[in-house]
Chains A and B, each alone.
Chain A
Amino acid sequence: MYPFTYHRPRSLRDALALLAADPEARPLAGGMTLIPSLKHRLAAPSQLVDIVRLPELQGIAHDDRSLTIGAASRYVDIARHPLVQQVLPALAQVADAIGDPQVRSRGTIGGSIANNDPAADFPAAVLALAAVICTDRREIAADDFFQGMFTTALEPDELIREIRFAIARRAAYAKFHHPASGYAMCGVFVADFGESVRVGVTGAAPVVFRWHEAEAALTRRLAPEAVAGLALSPQGLNADLHAPAAYRAQLAAVMLQEAVAQITTRTTT
């Protein structure tokens, strides 16, 4: 690792001041991506601003229409939280599908979303659940947030405070794990809002995306048969040493079937 200075500010305001004062400073949450990047000398920040204990970034709460999760909530907190399991169990399912227990004990939802790894799990849920990303200065709709590979709408010195999820009537996540890394080779999150269905796909393309044809078919009829013949074009999908684009397209169709089957065979969400 290249040398850096570590800070642990007490408040969001202090954290923002540190980040604003130095363009080479970076926020540090769980560190599950950033610390390995530092170890490989793929990143060389001058300062790390540890935000994981900031009081403004904690907590899980809900009202009739939404579930709000503090950005510093760790995957394990989300997976085991009774409120999440009660009102949006598919979100607990996503958290529990990430990495391994040690990673889930450190990684945070805010970190996952801000990093926007093409194969990360939470972006699929954030997009499909029409979440709103609430930062220190504004609210950003999920549809506007994920802009490209490792790129989001966030300004360099902007911090996510919390993520507000719309509560779906029913939802499910199906993921094909990469056998070595645990990342999503492809993950499909399906959310049923009654009048509409939203489908988020991660792992398949350079950035998470909504599968509009699947949404239209499932909005007409939410059943595995409604999307039985649906194929995703491999055009623009990722092709690398793990899988060619056509394989990922096929995986997306299979994961879509699986997620819809989960939804329709469950008696409750």
Chain B
Amino acid sequence: MSRVTLTVNGSSRMLEVEDRTLLVDLLRDQLGLTGTHVGCDTSQCGCCTIHLDGVAVKACTTLALQADGSDVVTIEGLAPADRLHPVQEAFSACHGLQCGYCTPGMIMATTDLLARHPDPTDEQIRDGLAGNLCRCTGYVNIEAAVRTAAAALRAADGTAKGGQ
């Protein structure tokens, strides 16, 4: 067993883990953050996407000990408890999901994408979500949700800047 110290959704956590523990299992089993899903176990589906030091990574392909000293944000930490993040709002408004299993990973990948490309082209959206599989919807509404979220975030950013 080894000790791992990391910040999860703004809170500092210290945990004992087996060296082979995956970050996704630490989050789900030890911290109860079950919004991060395990979809494939072969590193292909992206359901387990979280932010590690600000960038989207697959938590099923990261050892908990590799994240020692890092900052982790999961779907639960994207917005305050009583509110939804604009990307979450957009996935709901555009019906960018069917069963919803892939959705937390899609949303974490989308927030990373929109941080890099606030006004993404269709190609940038498809490339940005290339690591996330949805087996229900066929992606049309997911892409619409990303465009809607991008517009909402740009509008909010413009309002914030205009108000200064």
Contact = CB atoms under 8 A, between A and B. Distances in A.
Contacts of B109: 101-102
**Which range holds the interface residue count of chain B?**
20 to 34
B127 A101 contact: yes
Nearest to B53: A105
B55 A31 contact: no
Interface stretch (B42-50, B89-97, B146-154): B42-50
A32 B61 contact: yes
A150 interface: no
Contacts of B42: 36, 39-40
Given A35-B61, A35-B62, A102 B19 contact: no
B41 A100 contact: no
A5 B43 CA distance: 22
Interface in A12-65: 28, 31-32, 35-36, 38-40, 48, 50, 52
Interface stretch (B26-34, B63-71, B76-84, B155-163): B63-71
- Chain B interface main SS type: mixed
Nearest to A99: B131
B117 to A, nearest CB: 11
Contact of B130 (A31, A76, A101): A101
Nearest to A5: B19
Interface residues of A, number: 29
Given A4-B19, A6-B19, A102 B68 contact: no
A31 B56 contact: no
A264 to B, nearest CB: 24
B131 A106 contact: no
A8 interface: yes
A103 B130 CA distance: 10
Interface of A: 1-6, 8, 28, 31-32, 35-36, 38-40, 48, 50, 52, 76, 99-103, 105-106, 180-182
Interface of B: 2, 18-20, 22, 41-44, 46, 49, 52, 55-58, 60-63, 65-66, 68, 109, 112-113, 127-128, 130-132
Given A32-B43, A48-B63, 18 more contacts: A6-B2, A6-B65, A8-B65, A31-B63, A32-B61, A35-B63, A39-B42, A48-B19, A100-B132, A101-B109, A102-B46, A102-B109, A102-B131, A105-B55, A105-B57, A180-B44, A181-B44, A182-B130
